[in-house]
Amino acid sequence: MKNSRLAFLRVRELGVAAVLLLQIALFTFLVGRDADGQWVFLASKNLTGIVLESAVIGVATVGVTVVIIAGGIDLSVGGLIALSSVVVAGLLRSGQAVPIALGGALLMGAFFGGVAASLATWVGLPPFIATLALMLIARGLAYMLSKGEDWSIDERALGFTQSFGEGQVLGVPYLILVLIFVAALIAFALSKTAWGRQVFAVGGNEIAARYAGVSVHKIKWSVYVLSGILASLSGIIFAAKYGTGRSDTATGYELDAVAAAVVGGASLSGGRGSIVGAVLGALIFTTLRTGLNQVPGASVYQEMIIGLVVIGAVVIDRLIQKRVAA
């Protein structure tokens, strides 16, 4: 059963990679060439920008994917990205050291993840409602703290924005290395540890997992706290990349993260998912947003098109579920 599941995910990941390549080819044609005859969309600066932007949504998508595998849902990530960007910017602007600022933002994410887990397990709220409410609370707190202003940190913490936000190792930006490290670590934990097997077990059949001795509440706590921490890390990446904390950033990212996870092979019914597929899904949505902004007149329809893609991803997941169950 495990081998068949892994084989299915590998096929799904190859399909997602193919969709990404087709998407790049389509936008290359639609955006066109510049005055020198060069393809604008394929410019190294543009492609690097897409990959860097995918680091923000990609890290959060990894956390959301783990929650979905465990049979839950997390819609709080957009608000947490905004709040953590404001928190890290505020702490840096107040003169706090970078480790303290980063630690404060990550602890805030862990706290929100713990609240989401408590509401879903102890209170019994549907995870959809609990995390949606937390998303609104987080974004509201971000607005209250910043008073709706952009909190620039370029002049307050150059070591953070220039060294981390713009730094590279062998030509690879630090922010991309963070995404690769997070994805590799979580993928390893899911496939090679007892915790990972229990996450899949809880998502596949919670009752059977409980009878098998799995502490379902602990697993749910762990995945929601992990998702909160990774959403906060995404906010830190945003602050480092753009040199600012903003309460209105990452609007709609919660839906992008869920859709990216589903496109990458995660099942909304739980028990199935792929971290590699999720990262590829995040790249698809980042490429989609970037491409639509560059195609003349297409930006007006951006949210509608992305909404249709989200619906399509869920419909495809349902069709796959019916095919597998048949």
Instruction: Tally the C-alpha atoms within 13 A of residue 210's C-alpha that lie toward its C-beta.
Output: 6
Evaluated on CA atoms 195, 198, 202, 204, the torsion sign reads positive
Instruction: Write the CATH number for 17.
Output: 1.10.3470
Q: Into how many domains does the chain fold?
A: 1
151: three-class secondary structure by DSSP: strand
**Residue 199 buriedness (CB in 10 A; 0-12 / 13-18 / 19+):** buried
**Distance from chain centroid for Cα 101:** 21
What is d(CA 126, CA 142) in angstroms, rounded to the nearest whole number?
25
**Is 0.95 surpassed by the pTM of this model?**
no
pLDDT in tens for each of the 326 residues of the chain?
455 455 555 666 777 788 888 889 988 988 888 877 888 898 888 988 898 889 999 999 999 999 999 999 999 999 999 999 999 999 998 888 889 999 999 999 999 999 999 999 889 899 999 999 999 999 999 999 998 888 888 666 767 777 777 778 878 888 999 999 999 999 999 999 999 999 999 999 999 999 999 999 999 999 999 999 999 999 999 998 888 899 998 888 888 899 899 888 888 888 888 899 899 999 988 998 888 888 887 777 777 877 787 777 667 666 666 665 55
What is d(CA 155, CA 143) in angstroms, rounded to the nearest whole number?
22
Evaluated on CA atoms 278, 279, 285, 291, the torsion sign reads negative
Domain that holds residue 168: 2-325
- In contact, 253 and 77? CB cutoff 8 Å: yes
